[in-house]
Amino acid sequence: MGMDIVGSGDRMVALVELEEGSEKKIEDVAKEVIAENKNVVSVLQKFPGTKGSYRTKTYKFVAGDSNTEVLHKEYGYLLRLDPQKVYFSPRESTVRQHVSSRVRPGDRVLVMFAGVGPYPVCMAKSQPLLSEIVAVEFNPEAFRYMKDNIRINKIAHLVTPLMGDVRIVCANMSGQFDKIVMPMVEAFDFIDVAADCCKSGGLIQVYMVSDKERLYEDCRAAVKEKMNALGREYDVEAESKVGLYSPGKWKVLIEIRMK
Ligand SMILES: C[S@@+](CC[C@H](N)C(=O)[O-])C[C@H]1O[C@@H](n2cnc3c(N)ncnc32)[C@H](O)[C@@H]1O
């Protein structure tokens, strides 16, 4: 059984995943979880993968309060969200710290696929001397939460949320950004947009999926092919694992320095 908990204080929601073929009844598991964690108010059963273009995870409500909106706390900042309506992974808090540690004073940052805003919030909190973060999201529900999270964390002077499709919203942003963050495994389809928006010398941080057998090699080959086609020079500056994506595959972070 795998379990994540989102929320804070006395309002937490448990996201429980049963192993394939498990004989356990989710209702019994939920009762145990609530009995053992006094701050858990609801239990959702989580199923593998994400669905649709908003990349939400599939959950089944199992027990407790049917209102599953929470105020999640990580590394001293707060994120309001409902896991049933938007994508959010508490497991990626360490990657958010790493990505944020790369931001320098004065940087202009573009966060594509921003969701409820965990990356913009984490970056603005860890580097308050940055110049601006532009955060783009097209799920209206996630966008509403992102605006709320910008307000709650008092970073409205640093973050500009833009609602819409990255390919359209970022069409006229050539050469404007020092850092571009692409936190979605399908993000590589938009690498041409990122390469265009990035200043020379700027850094693109993109999530990809890599085969365990050819770890990073497959990503390097894809980056090379795409950058050659775009006629752009670059260096792959860093590669790291984000988490297990599926049996045999890692979700990874590839950091590309544009020349
Ligand atoms: C996997 S989620 C990641 C959200 C956030 N970065 C996080 O880590 O919590 C991807 C997000 O990108 C949004 N999205 C997908 N395609 C998009 C596009 N073409 N333009 C803007 N947003 C998009 C989805 O609605 C979803 O909220």
The structural domains of the chain, with segments of one domain joined by +, span 2-68, 90-258
Q: Half-sphere exposure (CA, 13 Å, Cβ side) for 190?
A: 26
Token pair recorded at residue 29: 């598991």
Amino acid symbol at 146: M
DSSP 122: H
Residues with CB under 6 A from ligand 1: 53-55, 87-88, 92, 113-115, 118-119, 136-139, 142, 165-167, 183-184
Q: Which atom of ligand 1 is nearest to the CA of 96?
A: 8
Phi, psi torsion values for 56, nearest 5 degrees = -75, 155
Angle at 179 between CA 174 and CA 181, to 5 degrees: 100
Pocket test for ligand 1, best of 15, 50, 85, 87 (most atoms within 8 A of CB): 87
Is there a contact between 223 and 254 (Cβ–Cβ < 8 Å)?
A: yes
pTM above 0.85, yes or no: yes
Amino acid symbol at 101: S
Say whether 10 sits in a helix, a strand or coil.
coil
Nearest CA to ligand 1 atom 19: 165
Walk along the chain (259 residues) and give the pLDDT tens digit of each residue: 899 999 999 999 999 999 988 999 999 999 999 999 999 999 999 999 899 999 999 999 999 999 999 999 999 999 999 999 999 999 999 999 999 999 999 999 999 999 999 999 999 999 999 999 999 999 999 999 999 999 999 999 999 999 999 999 999 999 999 999 999 999 999 999 999 999 999 999 999 999 999 999 999 999 999 999 999 999 999 999 999 999 999 999 999 999 9
What angle separates helix 118-126 from helix 140-152, to the nearest 10 degrees?
Answer: 20
Topology, domain 2-68: GMP Synthetase; Chain A, domain 3 (3.30.300)
Superfamily of domain 90-258 in CATH is: Vaccinia Virus protein VP39 (3.40.50.150)
